[in-house]
Amino acid sequence: MKTHTNVTRKACLAMSLISTALFASSSSVQSSQPTWLLPQEERSEAMKFDEYANIRFNDEKARLDNFTVQLQNDPKVQGYIIGYGGRICRPNEAKARARRAAGYLINSRQVDEGRVVTIDGGYRNDVGVELYLVPAGASRPPASPSLSKCTKVSSASKTGSTRKVR
């Protein structure tokens, strides 16, 4: 049974890599290759590698595995993880999402802690994470929140009460 799980996970990872590469190359207008596949010396700015909303952790891990491969392929690139809280949020939700992703890269995939940067991106309608590859000397990627505040879920929410936070 363990072998079946590993085979299934590897197949999912392979399919995810292929679909990510196909999507990125089809959306690239300036080059026949996606920007993150260009040699490091041809890149001069932060490149969005992936973005996902509230997905199951196993699905998130598969996407983070793809991100790990890119970080391993180019040791001069730094990984940025921007976490976003949702319209209805919990305290530090954006930070927690980014840190969970970084923790997986560092602890499970042995990515050097110094190569992973987390950013609290603020709030959007839905929770989510953006993954960026940033070459040496490039500016950090900008966060792009779509909401200035959220409705905070508090312990009183069990009775249906919520409050606005900034």
Determine the pLDDT at residue 80: 98
**Which range among 3-12, 17-26, 68-77, 96-105 shows the weakest confidence by mean pLDDT?**
17-26
pLDDT tens track for 102-149: 999 999 999 999 999 999 999 999 999 999 999 999 999 999 988 888
pLDDT of residue 151: 86
Strand partners, 7: none
**Mind listing the domains of the chain with CATH numbers?**
38-165 (3.30.1330.60)
Q: How many CB atoms lie within 10 A of CB 88?
A: 16
Burial class (CB in 10 A: 0-12, 13-18, 19+), 156: exposed
Q: Do 87 and 124 form a contact (C-beta atoms < 8 A)?
A: yes
pLDDT at 25 over 70: no
State the chain's mean pLDDT as an integer: 78
Sheet holding 116-123, edge to edge: 47-52, 128-135, 77-85, 116-123
Catalogue the E-assigned strands of 124-162: 128-135, 150-152
The β-bridge partners of 131 are 50, 81
Contact 109, 71 (CB under 8 A): no
Please answer whether residues 77 and 109 qualify as being in contact, where contact means their C-beta atoms are separated by less than 8 angstroms: no
Continuous H helices in the chain = 2-27, 57-73, 93-103
